Structure 1
Amino acid sequence: MKIIFTGGGTGGHIYPALALIKTIREKRPDTDILYIGKLDSQEEKLCERENIPFIGIKVLPLYRKNPFKNIKTIINFLKSYHECKKIIKNFDPDWIVGTGGYVSCPVIYAGAKKHYKTIIHEQNSTPGVTNKFLAKYAKYIAISFPESAKCFPQKKVVLTGNPRAQVVYEKKIIKKSDLGLTENKKFILIFMGSLGAKYVNEAIVKLLPLLNKRKEWEVVFVTGKEHYEDIQHKISSMVLNNIQLKPYIDYMPAYYQHADLVICRAGATTLAEIAALGLAAILIPSPYVTNNHQEKNALSLVNNNAAIMIKEKDLNEDILYKKICSLLDNPYELRVMRNNMFKQGIRDSCERFLKILDS
């Protein structure tokens, strides 16, 4: 079998593809794989790291605030479309899989026009503009949230979940003590993505002294590399014995497996991971994303009593502390939320994809 993967721009589009490629290599080792992404991009670096054959193309995004710039985008799209047709013809894949981001548009479109079998994967509950456009041309549309189904032609939709969640669920066991954590304390994991979130981080800095008073709790606060030094300076005069400050965590599953509660954004990959593990969560959706899709992602869990959501505009340390206490001081409520979250998780996403690829 030969498969072309495409997707990029953010980790949320890239990591599901990498997770699926990992499973395919393990279970279908004779499969030839090619990744088409943007030149000089995050996906190119990650493919190089994972030893995945990669071809880079030049692509431009849609400009929502300045439509006149889209003239250049359209011209670029036509060029990349013809380039992709040549790449696809030479590779002659059995399937082309797109995991979102504007780089996937010319690849999937070219494949469909050349009558190759195509799959697009939507990570969010509300589809992005690329997948909305490509839905007409794809043979199958893999979705991560049941709510997405109504946005696409029903006969094409398959609920697969997010392949990244399966990779996290099939984690290696790491001892709590190896992470500098205490066995008999409740563990709160706070993170806002690789770059962090300035406004939320400021609220959490004010929250830390309140959390530190609870000697039966301990906290790992992942600030994001961009904000680490600033926050470290702000808390330097505080005595915070139960708090670990980190700029970034390379292997988040190690911390997930011991977390009693996570406080995080509502990006699609993060939610897929914590749902697969059944982690209780307080979600603070980013209001700065397209179509407010993080809030919609969060609501899909909140509506199933699987998480608590606080909008960023409503956030302060007192509200957040009360929400934390409502869970950690009430074992029954915490257990119910974890059970509900676990029910929302899809832990066999890669196998669901393999069934499609074998069809």
Structure 2
Amino acid sequence: MKIVLSGGGTGGHIYPALAILKEVQRQEPDSQFLFIGTAKGLESELVPKAGIPFKSIEISGFKRKLTLENLKVIQQFIKSTYLAKKMLREFQPDVVVGTGGYVCGPVVYAAHRLGIPTMIHEQNVIPGVTNRFLARYVDRIAISLEGVRGYFPKKKVVLTGNPRASEVVSVQNSEGKEELNIPIPPERRIVLIVGGSRGARPINEAAVQMIPYMVMHPDLHFILQTGDANYSMVEKLIKDEQLTIPENLTILPYIYQMPELLARTSCIINRAGASTIAEITALGIPSILIPSPYVTNNHQEKNAVWLEEAGASIMILEPHLTGTLLFDTVLQIMNNPTCMETMSIAAKKLGIPDASQRFYLEMMKLLPKR
């Protein structure tokens, strides 16, 4: 079987695609893959690192306001659709899968025009612009959350969950420590501070403000992923504030083996993107979510509200975020075993741990019987 995957921009669009790929490899070891993304997106780094053939096209998103830049986007779309058709004709895939991001638009649309079976995946409570556009052309629409079903044609929609969930569930706790090579005493509970795949400056700043308090809680180990672009800023901020990095704090620019680390995590502080939601619900990790206010349709806040209302998370809006509030919230969870257990159970009730297999089975329905 030959499959083209397309998704890009952020980890929330890339990780589900890679999880789908791994499930197909498990089910169909002789399958061939091609990933089409953009040269500027995170996919250009993560996909080749995973050993997957990668090709790029150039595309950007429409501006909400009327602007001449949208004419450029239309030109890009036409050019990229033509280029995607050429790539598809050369590769001759059995199916084309889009997992979100602007790059999926021309790729999946090109597949539709060529008569190739198509499937897209929507990870959020509110669908993105690209998936709304593609909904009329694709053969099947997989969703992670029931709340988004009403935005798409009913006959095309299937609930699969987020394939990223299956990947994190499959990792054993003991593997995380060894593969990440982070020297953490086994008796310590891990508080993971992220901020999306690229990092988030406000979360990084709040984490730095927490440093003086961390040393007073040696039973906890804090791991801060700053994002590559923010690592130097965090180093400078620590130096300017004349802070000493405590022994129970590890600062990294990026964590490639995130599923292994999540397997040992007791509490996570993060944005409220699709991959985050999939991971914490699949593993039942208590969470503190700080939704990004800069995303389309404010979908991250809606994701966070969904988890908070279910009792699985505590949401802090970015304008209210401080290091003191964040640390107090961490202790509110970590110092209360009943709270931790309740949040964990609530999160697991929302998760779909076999999402990759569900997605694979729905995708196979689009292909001729073999």
Q: Same fold by TM-score, threshold 0.5 exceeded?
A: yes
CA shift, 1:320, in A, is: 2.2
1:188 aligns with 2:191: yes
Contact 1:232 1:245 in 2 (8 A): no
Aligned to 2:368: none
1:269 aligns with 2:275: yes
- Asked which structure has the greater RCO (Cα within 8 Å, sep 6+), the reply is 2
Relative to 1, partners in 2 of residues 1:285 and 1:180: Cα closer, same or farther, differing over 3 Å?
same
Once the two structures are superposed, residues 297-328 of structure 1 have per-residue CA deviations (whole angstroms, 9 ceiling, x without a partner) of: 11221121111101011122333233222222
Task: Write the letter of the residue equivalent to 1:216.
Answer: D
Shifted more, 148-157 versus 318-327: the winner is 318-327
> Percent identity, aligned pairs only?
42
Correspondence list, 1:124-143, <5 A: 124-143=124-143
CA shift, 1:175, in A, is: 6.5
Work out the CA distance in 2 between the residues paired with 1:28 and 1:83.
28
1:337 aligns with 2:343: yes
CA shift, 1:194, in A, is: 4.1
Between the two proteins, the alignment pairs up a number of residues equal to 359
1:228 aligns with 2:234: yes
Task: Write the letter of the residue equivalent to 1:37.
Answer: G
CA shift, 1:236, in A, is: 4.2
Which of 296, 301, 310 is equivalent to 1:295?
301
Correspondence list, 1:173-322, <5 A: 173-174=174-175, 176=177, 179-225=182-228, 226=230, 227-234=233-240, 236-238=242-244, 240-322=246-328
Task: Write the letter of the residue equivalent to 1:301.
Answer: L
Work out the CA distance in 2 between the residues paired with 1:259 and 1:32.
34
Aligned to 1:168: 168
Q: Supply the RMSD in Å over aligned alpha carbons.
A: 2.3
Task: Write the letter of the residue equivalent to 1:336.
Answer: T
Contact 2:119 2:363 in 1 (8 A): no
CA shift, 1:343, in A, is: 1.6
Work out the CA distance in 2 between the residues paired with 1:204 and 1:50.
30
Work out the CA distance in 2 between the residues paired with 1:26 and 1:148.
29
Task: Write the letter of the residue equivalent to 2:152.
Answer: F
Shifted more, 336-345 versus 64-73: the winner is 64-73
Task: Write the letter of the residue equivalent to 1:222.
Answer: Q
Aligned to 1:80: 80
Relative to 1, partners in 2 of residues 1:267 and 1:242: Cα closer, same or farther, differing over 3 Å?
same
Shifted more, 72-81 versus 194-203: the winner is 194-203
CA shift, 1:292, in A, is: 1.3
Work out the CA distance in 2 between the residues paired with 1:193 and 1:224.
8
Relative to 1, partners in 2 of residues 1:87 and 1:206: Cα closer, same or farther, differing over 3 Å?
closer
Shifted more, 258-267 versus 74-83: the winner is 74-83
Task: Write the letter of the residue equivalent to 2:220.
Answer: W
CA shift, 1:272, in A, is: 1.0
1:355 aligns with 2:361: yes
Work out the CA distance in 1 between the residues paired with 2:98 and 2:35.
10
Contact 1:205 1:235 in 2 (8 A): no
Work out the CA distance in 1 between the residues paired with 2:47 and 2:256.
17
CA shift, 1:296, in A, is: 1.2
Aligned to 1:51: 51
Relative to 1, partners in 2 of residues 1:245 and 1:116: Cα closer, same or farther, differing over 3 Å?
closer
1:121 aligns with 2:121: yes
Query: Structure 1: which 4+ aligned runs deviate by more than 4 Å?
Result: 175-178
Work out the CA distance in 1 between the residues paired with 2:206 and 2:42.
30
Relative to 1, partners in 2 of residues 1:71 and 1:176: Cα closer, same or farther, differing over 3 Å?
closer
Once the two structures are superposed, residues 209-268 of structure 1 have per-residue CA deviations (whole angstroms, 9 ceiling, x without a partner) of: 233223433322333332331243146444734333333323223322222211111111
Task: Write the letter of the residue equivalent to 1:210.
Answer: Y
Task: Write the letter of the residue equivalent to 1:11.
Answer: G
Work out the CA distance in 1 between the residues paired with 2:214 and 2:64.
42
Relative to 1, partners in 2 of residues 1:199 and 1:3: Cα closer, same or farther, differing over 3 Å?
closer
Shifted more, 45-54 versus 313-322: the winner is 45-54
Work out the CA distance in 1 between the residues paired with 2:150 and 2:125.
10
1:7 aligns with 2:10: no
TM-score by length of 2: 0.89
Work out the CA distance in 2 between the residues paired with 1:329 and 1:46.
37
Work out the CA distance in 1 between the residues paired with 2:285 and 2:16.
20
1:67 partner SS: coil
CA shift, 1:130, in A, is: 0.3
Work out the CA distance in 2 between the residues paired with 1:165 and 1:235.
38
- Please list every run of 5 or more consecutive structure 1 residues that lacks an aligned counterpart in the other structure: none
Contact 1:223 1:231 in 2 (8 A): no
Work out the CA distance in 1 between the residues paired with 2:256 and 2:31.
29
Task: Write the letter of the residue equivalent to 1:73.
Answer: V
Relative to 1, partners in 2 of residues 1:217 and 1:56: Cα closer, same or farther, differing over 3 Å?
closer
Task: Write the letter of the residue equivalent to 1:3.
Answer: I
Task: Write the letter of the residue equivalent to 2:29.
Answer: P
Work out the CA distance in 2 between the residues paired with 1:207 and 1:39.
36
Work out the CA distance in 1 between the residues paired with 2:63 and 2:265.
40
Relative to 1, partners in 2 of residues 1:79 and 1:236: Cα closer, same or farther, differing over 3 Å?
same
Relative to 1, partners in 2 of residues 1:176 and 1:30: Cα closer, same or farther, differing over 3 Å?
closer
